[in-house]
Amino acid sequence: MSSSPGVPTKQIPPSYDYDKPSSSTPTAQAPIDVHNKTYVKLLQPQTDILQDDNEYTTYERFPLKHIPHIHFGYLESGVNVWVAWPRMTHRQVDSPYYANQVPMLVQDQWFS
């Protein structure tokens, strides 16, 4: 590994296992907490009126940062693995902001 003069290089210990993904631990902040111009269309459940009229359900477009998600790990090739819960997408109580953090109870069960 070459580096420019004065810049230290990071040495990887020889016992490091490259084949297994590294798991994460529960966190209080979502990994994607800024708008990265990526959108997801989520299917909204049908209301009783839509079911009675035989109308189709609608899609709503959400920025990726609004969907609750956690960092699960990363793969050998440098790919981050995230797990999202789109059915948990909602606004915070008494706030105009979306709740993008997965509750700690769910995170604890996911990582156990």
Residue-wise pLDDT for 14-47, tens only, equals 443 433 344 455 666 777 777 788 898 988 877 7
In a domain, residue 89? The reply is yes
Name the band, by pLDDT with cuts 50, 70 and 90, for residue 58. confident
108-74-102-31 Cα dihedral, nearest 10 degrees: 140
- The number of distinct structural domains making up the chain is 1
Q: Is 51 helix (H, G, I), strand (E, B) or coil?
A: helix
In a domain, residue 78? The reply is yes
In a domain, residue 13? The reply is no
Which residue range is the domain that position 94 belongs to? 28-111
Yes or no: say if 60 and 42 are a contact pair by the CB < 8 Å rule.
Answer: yes
In a domain, residue 7? The reply is no
In a domain, residue 23? The reply is no
What phi and psi values does residue 3 have, to the nearest 5 degrees?
A: -145, 165
In a domain, residue 8? The reply is no
In a domain, residue 72? The reply is yes
